Amino acid sequence: MPRLSEAVALAAMTLLGATLPAVTTPRRPQGAASQRTLNLVGEIMDSRCAIDGTHDKMMGQNGTKNAKDCTLQCAKTGGSFVLIDPETKSVYQLDDQRKPEKFAGQRVRISGTYDEPSKTMHIESIESAE
């Protein structure tokens, strides 16, 4: 059984903790912490092939002969255009699905704002890196 002095000390700490304001850390605006500007180089691929990091499987299934045709075919049948960095195997969702279409299957350089929570790149510019 606790001694009287220990009980008084425990009660004092409990009372003190209940009456002090909570310590909070300053918050950054949500958009500032979760978005950053990136310049990326990679291949415009479709989201289906990006899972495997290659077009091999899908080209066999859909009868296409190259990365461009495979990417376009997969994008038409439910996939979306993504940027894949072949060195890091990172896949970036692209918010604009029109701009990357003409670069399907090609190596490109994309500049834009990356949104970490949604893992989506807002394309500001896209150009061939070949």
**pLDDT number for residue 6:** 67
d(CA 17, CA 20): 5
Which residue's entry shows tokens 């190596």?
107
Helix (H) or strand (E) holding 47: helix 47-52
Mean pLDDT across the chain: 83
Please state the domain extents for the chain.
29-128
The tens digit of pLDDT for each residue in 74-116 reads: 999 999 999 998 888 899 999 999 999 999 999 999 999 999 8
d(CA 13, CA 17): 6
Q: Considering the chain, what percentage of its residues have pLDDT values greater than 90? A: 62
Cβ neighbours around 73 below 10 Å, total = 20
d(CA 116, CA 96): 16
The CATH code for residues 29-128 is: 2.40.50
Helices (H) and strands (E) in the chain, counts: 5, 5
